[in-house]
Each structure stands twice: as C-alpha cells, then as structure tokens.
Amino acid sequence: MTVPDTLRAASARLADTSDTPRLDAELLLAHALGISREEVILRQRDLAVPPGFNALLDRRLLGEPVAYIIGTRDFWTLTLAVTPAVLIPRPDSETLIEAAIDHFQTRAPTTILDLGTGSGALLLAALDQWPDARGLGVDASTEALEVARGNAQRLGLADRADFALGDWGAGLTSPFDLILINPPYIATSALLSRDVLHHEPHSALFAGDEGLDEYRRIAPQLPGLLAPGGMAALEIGFDQRESVSALLRRVGLTVSARTDLAGLDRCLVAFP
C-alpha cells in the first residue's frame, strides 16, 4: 500500500486502542523511516512503507505506549529519551514549569531541585528555560537516573545538571530557589488504561489507598529546602487540591493552585 493508504488503515486499526490513532500511526511510521513526523506528513506521496512498520504497529495494538516504542517523548521545548524505567512525561506536567515562570517573572532561579526526576523532564526543562541555573535531580531508581543523565548529556545540559540516588529530599541541606515535584499520586484502587497499568513503572504511579502517601513524606521536608523567595511546584491529581494543600499548610507553607490545559487542578505552588 501507499503511505496515505497505510496511514488510513493503521489509524482504523488503532481506533479501539488509542485516543489518538492517526497521530500514533504517523509517529510509528516516522520512526520506522528514520525521519520526523512532519516529513511524513509533507512527503507521504513520495515515501515507501518500510518493512519494519507492521511490527511497530503490532506492538502498539497490544497496548505498548508509542513513547516506549519509538524511545522518545516531547516535553516543553525538549525531546527526551524514555524507557519503561521512567514515567512518560505528560503535557499536564508542563503546568509546573509555567507556574515557576509566573512566580519568578523577571527574576530567575539559580538553584533547582527536582524530586522524583524520572527522565529528568522537569529539571531539564527548567534548566533550558533559565540558562544560568544549576540543578539536582533525585530519584530512588538507578535505572531512571541513567535515563535522566543520558538526556542531560544529549541536550547539552550535563554541565549544569547533577543527579543523585535518594529518598525525596532526605539528607539534603542546601536550600533551593525552585523545587519541582511530580510524585506518585494515584490511589491503588484507581482504574487505569491498559497502556499505563501494564507498561509504566508502578513505583512512579501508585501511592497508597488515597494516593497521598508520598505527599505525607515530602511535605515536612520542604520548609527546610526552600530558599527565601523560592517556591515548590507539586503535581497533584485532579481531586487532590484540598488534601495535599492541607498537608503543606500544616508545615507552615502558603499554597495556591493552578489548573492544566483541561481546566483541572494539576499543580500546587507552595512557598514560605
């Protein structure tokens, strides 16, 4: 089949598997061809379908996320490598970067801490946003840290990004201007899509019966880690605004909330 026919057929097959079947088909074909999705769209009339495309499509039909199949995911201004060792970065998490930009305005944070760094998405996006800043990414997974270090190296940010194995902020003493946190916050009883449940790391998803276990551990650490004038941005579930805000206020922090692109509560901003 031609590329246009192949994309139409693949999109139809993916309709029951994905909310974005056409996008998935284009990304998989671009990966198989070794070109960008934009090139696929612009040049589809003169391209040939490579032999490896059907194998990629079969993996997606079995529920494997596109990001793991092609090995990359765009986030903020960056293209990040991702593996099953890390959570796939979501556009909703960009709300934390937007909150930081609004907080600092004409100022710029010079020290950044990313707790639960995973792929390094939040830390590296912040370092790209503020070229004079340095940052530290902490994670409990050595495999995730390997992915984050690789991303920092590929993006030319390794000289400003350090990574360390750790238990949230335990043992850290230096204050930071900006703290970014995307912890596990899904209740263990929550129903998730097959893509997420069967492929993404459960340690980065689930946090006890209420989804609050990690917030309870993180909140007491924050007052001692925030520099004067600094802020912490925490990602939350759409229904966790009040419960997580209460944990933060209990340790003396002032809290406000921000919504994501869908208008759902997604980020809490906390500061002394």
Mark whether 182 and 146 lie in a shared domain: yes
What tens digit of pLDDT does each residue of 53-71 get?
A: 999 999 999 999 999 999 9
Q: Tell me what the mean pLDDT of segment 211-227 comes to.
A: 97
Q: Would you place residue 22 in the very low, low, confident or very high pLDDT band (cuts 50, 70, 90)?
A: very high
Total domain count, the chain? 2
Provide the whole-model pTM.
0.94
What tens digit of pLDDT does each residue of 85-100 get?
A: 999 999 999 999 999 9
228 located within any domain: yes
What tens digit of pLDDT does each residue of 245-257 get?
A: 999 999 999 999 9
3-class SS shares of the chain: helix, strand, coil, % to 5 = 45, 20, 35
CATH number of the domain to which 171 belongs = 3.40.50.150
- Residues 6 or more apart whose CB falls under 8 angstroms from that of 244 comprise 212, 215, 234, 236, 268
> Number of C-alpha atoms within 13 angstroms, CB side, residue 180?
30
CA separation for the pair 238, 94 (Å, rounded)? 15
| Helices (H), ranges, the chain | 3-14, 21-33, 37-43, 53-61, 66-70, 94-104, 121-129, 142-154, 194-199, 213-218, 222-225, 241-250
Q: Are strands 111-115 and 78-81 parallel, antiparallel or unpaired?
A: unpaired
Q: Is a pLDDT exceeding 90 seen at residue 243?
A: yes
Domain that holds residue 19: 3-62
Rg (CA), the chain: 20
Q: Is a pLDDT exceeding 90 seen at residue 195?
A: no
76 located within any domain: no
Q: Is a pLDDT exceeding 90 seen at residue 189?
A: no
Mark whether 115 and 157 lie in a shared domain: yes
pLDDT of residue 14: 97
Question: For all residues of the chain together, what is the average pLDDT?
Answer: 96
pLDDT of residue 228: 96
Mark whether 28 and 120 lie in a shared domain: no
Mark whether 43 and 122 lie in a shared domain: no
Q: Tell me what the mean pLDDT of segment 66-82 comes to.
A: 97
Mark whether 51 and 92 lie in a shared domain: no
Q: Tell me what the mean pLDDT of segment 223-241 comes to.
A: 97
What tens digit of pLDDT does each residue of 117-165 get?
A: 999 999 999 999 999 999 999 999 999 999 999 999 999 999 999 999 9
Q: Tell me what the mean pLDDT of segment 12-16 comes to.
A: 96
> Number of C-alpha atoms within 13 angstroms, CB side, residue 135?
32
Residue type, 187: A
Mark whether 54 and 162 lie in a shared domain: no
202 located within any domain: yes
182 located within any domain: yes
Mark whether 185 and 262 lie in a shared domain: yes
Mark whether 49 and 115 lie in a shared domain: no
Q: Tell me what the mean pLDDT of segment 72-92 comes to.
A: 97
Comparing 43-47, 69-73, 165-169, 217-221, the range with the smallest average pLDDT is 43-47
Q: Is a pLDDT exceeding 90 seen at residue 45?
A: no
